Amino acid sequence: MSETTIATPLDQPESSWQVGVQDLSDAERARVMPAVQHRRWSERVPLLYPLAIRYHRGLKRLEWMRSSTPYAEDRQADDLPVRIKRHKSLLLRQLGETEMWMQHNKVTNLKLACAQVDGLLIRPGETFSFNKLVGNATRRKGYKKGMRLSNGQARPGIGGGICQLANLLHWMVLHSPLTVTQRSTHSFDPFPDNGRVLPWGVGCSIVYNYVDLQFRNDTDQTFQLHVGVGDRYLEGEILADVPAESSYRVFAKDERFLRVGAEYFRRNEIWRTVIDRRTGTALRDELIRENVALVKYLPVDVPVLDVVLPD
């Protein structure tokens, strides 16, 4: 459950809700400072974007060839006996003006991706890689055009929508002893919170093969993933061979919207509380990530802070 709080000076009139650059976090400053000099070449010159993809894919292939990482690849039909976490997410949602045909195609794409993950065992020392398991989502494999968030835009693309599976897996992993080792978020927030269940900022960006979700089993337990597409929901659970010692509560806090010139940015922090499963005692709080993203819609009914830039 989200425990988002909006960090704004509510005792001031809206017109004076201002902060200086010195009042921003390092992550906020890196994201919101004026920007042309910070943009990647592929953003400044869109024709370079396909070349950038090929370059990064080549680097990742070399990394995989040289890597000694033991990646999880074995699956079994029999369930492990202990449930660690279960979650489900709605398959069809109205997101802004997104055409629903892309969401229906997304369901097909999720079924294909889930088939590559369902039943996977993650033994001690092994690493899960979304890209290694699911592979490249191509038309030849049966993937259809769904909504893809790419280079700052939401547009149709083959395999669009499989990020929802990565989001589901990441949320469940945050409620387990597994260690997230690679995870990227989208650099922009494309849609208002229409029916959002999970906190903003816990999702994942997936781009074959170099933007990945990876997590490692640093315990002496074996874990198993179950994922599938139901009538209305994408469903998943993490199972284990023995009970876990801890449970987890994941929440967001210190959220705020910033306005820099004509652009809006959203910021929050994702935390989790580690709880002793036997006693129910909270052991510690862990900062998972600070998120800062460009907002692609006009924030309404939320306070917005104006960032005053230096001359």
Across 14-26, average pLDDT: 80
Other C-beta atoms within 10 Å of 78: how many?
7
pLDDT confidence tier of residue 183, bands split at 50, 70 and 90: very high
CA distance 148 to 154: 6
State the average pLDDT over residues 131-153: 91
Q: Cα(130)–Cα(163) distance, rounded to whole angstroms?
A: 10
Tell me the pLDDT of the chain averaged across its residues.
89
State residue 107's pLDDT score: 97
Among 62-66, 93-97, 165-169, 256-260, the minimum mean pLDDT is found in 93-97
Nearest to 306 by CA among 269, 265, 254: 265
The answer to whether 204 and 309 have CB atoms below 8 angstroms apart is no
- Per-residue pLDDT, averaged over 148-168, amounts to 89
pLDDT over threshold 60, residue 38: no
Residue 252: C-alpha distances to residues 154, 203, 304 (Å): 25, 13, 18
- For residue 156, the number of C-alpha atoms closer than 13 Å in the C-beta half-sphere is 11
**Distance between CA atoms of residues 248 and 177, nearest Å:** 9
pTM confidence score: 0.90
List, for residues 54-107, the tens digit of each pLDDT value: 889 999 999 999 999 999 999 999 999 999 999 999 998 876 556 788 999 999
Percent of the chain whose predicted confidence (pLDDT) is above 90: 70
* Cα radius of gyration (the chain): 20
Instruction: For residues 208-214, give the mean pLDDT.
Output: 95
| Start-end of H helices in the chain | 26-32, 41-44, 49-66, 100-117, 130-134, 163-173
